[in-house]
Chain A
Amino acid sequence: MPETTPTPVIEVKDLVKKFDGKTVVNGVSIHVNEGEIVGFLGPNGSGKTTTIRLMCGLLTPDSGSGQCLGYDITTQSEKIRQQIGYMTQKFSFYEDMTVVENLDFVGELYGLANRARRVNDMMAQFGLTPRRQQVVGTLSGGWKQRLALAASVIHTPKLLLLDEPTAGVDPNARREFWDRIHDLASKGLTVLVSTHYIDEAERCHRVIYVSDGQVVTRGTADEIIDQANLSTWVVRGDNLETLAHALEKRPEVRQVARFGRSLHVLGTDAARLDALAEDLRDDPDHDWQRADTTLEDVLIDLGARNDRAAAP
């Protein structure tokens, strides 16, 4: 059997969106294949939410075009709406209605043939059954997220757009959540998920990193680490803060990331960074070791670059 070429579920090109003359999304192109889980990362205000809204037709792009599920994002958003599940960043269900009333409402709007059963299934799956009669406004943050996720998949969409779905959710629930996402993806669901959590980025098949409305880097975790071309040393010991300050002034050091008992020292020129390390490792207070660059190191570096660019 010949290998099937992957079908693109999201295929958008050069999206531009301006608000009051300020360019918020500046030429973003995104390609996502069926069954993929793609992480959408970037600092606050980098345009993630806006891009997602453009893709599901909630905003009209100033220029650029594309399609979702084979439908044009500007002219066929009606069709897109039928088949996507969109979980907004800000909780957007009715706080004065109960869990079951909210799910019933969503189920009816999608015209589910077996709504009552489907609502019960969803509540069971997401552990919401004991809270079915609870008014949503009184649910804790994590439970609201679960409700929102349940509502976004109730109609078995083909594409899930999740905007920071696990913000404020405890680690256990997050794990369950990701297991569920992977489970759905294995059945053909495509997922684009924005997040600020690095461990979640690592759970995605691919990651797209945006900054200032532009895609800075994209690919699998390994590809992103490779592309960043950073070398890393880890320093352990006492009095790390003084060392960190000293290192930050060195031109060969690109970035110093502080951890509880260690520092990650990053640089783009491996040879010069190694030389620096050789110089400094004589100090018995500090233990220098070469380390593999992690996705986290790269993402922190990308974030820091963004902050430096924003600084006056």
Chain B
Amino acid sequence: MINLGVNWRRVRAVMVKEFIQLRRDRLTFAMMLGVPLLQLILFGYAINNDPRNLPTAVLVEENNQYTRSFLNALENSRYYKINSVLDNHRQAQRKLETGAVTFVVTIPAGFGRDLLRGDRPQLLIQADATDPAATSNAVAALEGISRNAFRHEFRGPLASLNAPPPAVDVVIHRLYNPESISTYNIVPGLIGVILTMTMIMMTALTLTRETENGTLENLLSMPVTPLEVMLGKVAPYVCLGLFQVTVILITASLLFGVPIVGSLLLLFLVALVFISANVFLGFTLSTFARTQLQAMQMTFFVFLPTILLSGFMFPFRGMPMWAQYLGEILPLTHFLRMVRGIVLKGNGVAEILPELWPILLFLVLVGWVALLRYRRTLD
């Protein structure tokens, strides 16, 4: 039975207690600051890989055999996966902002005519370069694609068009991170990864520590409800998490000069929701673990898929579909998109809302499980 009548005085008592214990535990405290900084410096170097089938939208102002050939060539390269055809630039802009597509290919009117004349028509490719690791290979492949796209058309009298320079002038617009600096992308991601690890672990340990030390028996014999214990225990770690975010942001901007385009307030708000989700997850784990060692193992059991499937380690769109579905469950996936959006694209509330509610849903579900699992007895 869940009793929702919260006595805030008792919540505060638990919270104060946790703060005192946290303060006494110098090593843990140092680790919670040291680990993020170490990771920040280590991960500051790009992780490179070769994602394929990146979602692409096309804005076709002219439709004929040449434009079709080019789009086919794009798809055949396996880097691009065309999933929508757009009518105007506003739509294109929107798709890029929300991260629905990584590329928008614009084929201008008069493309076929210019091509045949040898006028090298311009072909615009807008790339979401927030994560340069994700897009760089696809962009690099463009030259080859444009050279070979019209092999079948350029026969007989047109064969001369096969000679260099390529018949199409591909113009690439890297949006959001024009210089393709990997650390710009890594740093926001790192905030999420560090928060995931420290928040889940610290909270998973708090309740199991009480079980192991025998203090739980005493706590259970006093009039404090599961919800009060949970809220009180979780609150200090939420504060600590926000503190970590601050430290990472300051370090990132001092060390790597990462610009923050969007609203800081929004960033912290999003971080708060994300931290809460993790902290509740940690608390839930602690209701399953009997020892602190088990709590640690469970943390890693959750942590590994989180970094692998969230789009931190590997570009999300480059993963197989089943992995993407799994990834959508993870709070980190959504957090990464929001933070990248806010820090690099300057996204506002409207753009991040679709990513925020999955985390909120996760938070509610996990908190509910925790309350069901937290027992008021020692059985």
Contact = CB atoms under 8 A, between A and B. Distances in A.
Chain A bound to chain B:
yes
Interface of A: 53, 56-60, 77-78, 81-82, 84, 86, 88, 90-97, 101, 104-106, 108-111, 135
A88 B21 CA distance: 21
B220 interface: yes
A92 B376 contact: no
Interface of B: 3, 7, 9-10, 12-14, 16-17, 20-21, 24-25, 213-218, 220-224, 376-379
Contacts, number: 79
A257 B21 CA distance: 50
Given A57-B377, A81-B223, A108 B13 contact: yes
A105 B378 contact: no
A93 B217 CA distance: 10
Most buried by B among A82, A86, A135: A86
29 contacts: A53-B378, A57-B377, A58-B378, A59-B379, A81-B222, A86-B221, A88-B218, A92-B214, A92-B215, A92-B216, A92-B217, A93-B215, A94-B21, A94-B215, A95-B213, A96-B21, A96-B24, A97-B21, A101-B17, A101-B20, A105-B17, A108-B16, A109-B10, A109-B14, A109-B223, A110-B222, A111-B7, A111-B10, A111-B223
B377 A58 contact: yes
Contacts of B378: 53, 58-59
A82 B214 CA distance: 20
Given A57-B376, A81-B223, A84-B221, 4 more contacts: A53-B217, A58-B217, A82-B223, A96-B24
B338 to A, nearest CB: 37
A108 B213 contact: no
Nearest to A102: B17
Main secondary structure of the interface of B (DSSP, over half): helix
Contacts of B217: 53, 58, 88, 90, 92
A109 B222 contact: yes
A284 to B, nearest CB: 57
A56 B215 CA distance: 16
A84 B222 CA distance: 8
Given A92-B214, A97-B20, A111-B7, A81 B221 contact: yes
Contacts of A109: 10, 13-14, 222-224
B214 A91 contact: yes
B10 to A, nearest CB: 5
Nearest to B225: A78
A275 to B, nearest CB: 53
Closest 5 CB pairs of A and B: A108-B13, A92-B218, A86-B221, A81-B223, A92-B214
A94 B7 CA distance: 22
A60 B377 contact: yes
Contacts of A60: 377, 379
A84 to B, nearest CB: 7
Contacts of B3: 78
